[in-house]
Structure 1
Amino acid sequence: MTPITEVEGRRIALSNLEKVLHPATGFTKAELLHYYATTAEAMLPHLRDRPVSFLRYPDGPDGQVFFTKNVPPGTPDWVTTAEVERVTGVARMVCVQDLPSLMWAANLVTEFHTHQWVAQAQDEADRIVLDLDPGAPATVVECCEVALWLRERLAADGIEAYAKTSGSKGLHLLAAVRGSSSERVSEYAKRLAVEAEQALPRLALHRMTRSLRPGKVFVDWSQNAARKTTAAPYTLRARAEPWVSAPVTWEEIESCRDPAQLTFGAPDLAPRLRDHGDLLAPLLDRGRAGRLP
């Protein structure tokens, strides 16, 4: 029988709790649900009001992995949804607003991916994201060098950057912005990527061309497009180990000499939150959002 739990007055069916989802460590679905429950206070503000794409891996990363953008069948009527304009027409997507919604979605076994805008203002980007993706043999260590250059470049335009691991190989830089469309933010992000390549020609790359990427850090500016989504802060990733997209300090980036220093799993996040709180909390303060030049 599928166990039923009550979360803030909402009844949620939890299934297959003993299933191993991250085989390298034996991390189970019960542990996944516990992880999301214990990080919810920090995670929810970064999800709230943002239509979510789910990358689902119900049988672990070696099984079927697929994106779900539309509201899944069987979604409870108390889960908030929003209409989203797409090239193909209007779609309806989930917004994870509260702990019951988070636990219901986590039970589907998901990575959480969000747009750089909120549902109430889909024509205005409120975040800029730069995804630093290393091509082997480059690692997150090289990403840190590029990140430090980009932090200073953004600061020169009055924009304060924050960082998190991608939960895979690289880093994400995030900043709060205001008064700009997704198209304008994308243009600005591309300009930064081009400038990074010019300033760091042996390290940074703004083009996706695979043949150019070995040993370089691809500065992916394209995720600022209105239709694109990026792995949300604190989301687990569909990997053999339960890696997490974890906020990091600039001191950690400056001192990184080995990829292991910026690799965080689900068990690492509770002590990090105790020590640091939500390192991305300033992104939620609209008064601190920068304006593009």
Structure 2
Amino acid sequence: MPGERLRVEVEGRSLELSNLDKVLYPDAGFTKGEVIDYYTRIAPVLLPHLRDRALTRIRYPNGVADKSFFEKNKPAATPDWVRVETLPAPGSTKGRETIDYVVADDLPTLVWLANLAALELHTPQWRIGAHPDMLVVDLDPGPPAGLRECCQVAVLLRDRLADDGVAAYPKTSGKKGMQLCCPVAGTQSADVVSDHAHRIARELEGAHPKLVVSRMAKNLRPGKVFIDWSQNNAAKTTVAPYSLRAQPVPSVSTPLTWDEVEAVAADGRRRLRPYTAAEVLTRVDEYGDLLAPLLDGGPELPTR
């Protein structure tokens, strides 16, 4: 029945789930209950990437075809067992000096957020109280460029970053683009990380001007891949690996193997598309967490 509530125990925490039959992805008939089930099953590989990071959510209380809202501050009636951290709010559009962020360190918090229809989970490139431990670049194709061109640029970026001793790990955005995530030492400021990403983006634009653009002007992007180096800014977040996205189907920001990326980059007949929640669970059974190396730290970036 509409409005029906279900009391459950999750790792010793009592939660009340509601409207489990509500369809949040109308084109796929994917319900809130299935969203909660996905986040519960993906939690072993997702939670390590959320742990100790301030969490921004995008909520879709009436599904992806209806209105959404960004949520950084803790919601009303947040349970007292949910971890909340009060942190500075760089770039706040509401003039706040601080925000009370939710931190999803455990499965009960993840289930509670899924029950609030927090479909998309976004995190910064650093843990609370620390410097960035990741360099992230977003690859945004300007039509008619698509995921194939993103794969070509991803390979170029991987090889250039390797020259600096930095390993890169690819994932889909869950929408039209890709991201590369690179573990770094966590000893340098966001400005240093952002400047390094910007410098490499400019280098690749100079070497491959028909494929790559590093400048943000929209009129420069058609047919090229924009390397968005600004993801490393202190006010930015990036969709977390394994997060759902608000698309017609329940697509997921999905870690990829370099073999997959290289195959698409080399062969115009091969296609890379966003993977769905069910497909990602199957991939994790096969591959484990392809982004696990991000959790182990990386090198300092060269400065010049």
**TM-score with structure 2 setting the length:** 0.93
Shift of residue 59 of structure 1? 1.3
Q: Distance in 2 between matches of 1:78 and 1:41?
A: 20
Aligned equivalent of 1:217: 225
Structure 2 partner of 1:277: 288
**CA–CA distance in structure 2, aligned partners of residues 230 and 171 of structure 1:** 11
- Contact kept, 8 Å, 1:125 with 1:185, in 2: the verdict is yes
Aligned residue for 2:143? 136
- Counterpart of 1:172? 179
CA contact (8 A) 1:141 1:258 kept: no
| Residues 164-195 of structure 1, C-alpha deviations (whole Å, 9 max, x = no match) | 10000011000111121111111111111111
The alignment's C-alpha RMSD in Å is 1.2
Aligned length, in residue pairs? 289
Identify the match of residue 126 of structure 1 among 133, 140, 145.
133
| Aligned residue number for residue 46 of structure 1 | 49
Q: Secondary structure at the match of 2:75?
A: coil
| 1:262 positional shift | 3.6
> Percent identical across equivalent pairs?
50
Name the SS for the 1:227 alignment partner.
Answer: coil
| Aligned pair partner of 1:154 in 147, 150, 161 | 161
* Cα offsets for 1:14-60 (capped at 9, x unmatched): 11111111122111111111111110000000000000000111112
The match for 2:93 is none
CA shift digits 1:106-153 (9 cap, x unpaired): 1111200000011132xx111110000111111011000000000000
Change (3 A) 1:55 1:258: farther
Question: Which of 191, 213, 220 is the aligned partner of 2:199?
Answer: 191
Contact 1:82–1:92 (CA<8 Å) still a contact in 2?
Answer: yes
Residue from 71, 83, 88 that aligns with 2:86:
83
Distance 1:154 1:54 in 2: 30
- Which structure 2 residue ranges, 5 or more long, are not aligned? 91-95
Task: Give the conservation status (yes or no) of the 8 Å contact 2:55–2:121.
Answer: yes
1:60-99 mapped onto 2 (5 Å cutoff)? 60-87=63-90, 88-99=96-107
CA contact 1:160–1:290 (8 Å) conserved in 2: no
Of 126, 130, 148, which aligns to 1:117? Answer: 126
Partner residue, 1:266: 277
Match of 1:229 in 2: 237
- Given that 1:139 and 1:259 are in contact with CA atoms closer than 8 Å, whether structure 2 keeps it comes out as no
Q: What amino acid does structure 1 have at the position aligned with 2:149?
A: E
State the alpha-carbon separation in 1 of the partners of residues 214 and 18 from structure 2. Answer: 43
- Rounded to whole Å, the distance in 1 between the matches of 2:207 and 2:84 is 43
Report the Cα distance in structure 2 between the residues aligned to 1:93 and 1:206, rounded to whole angstroms. Answer: 32
Is 2:115 the counterpart of 1:104? no
What's the CA shift for 1:258? 5.7
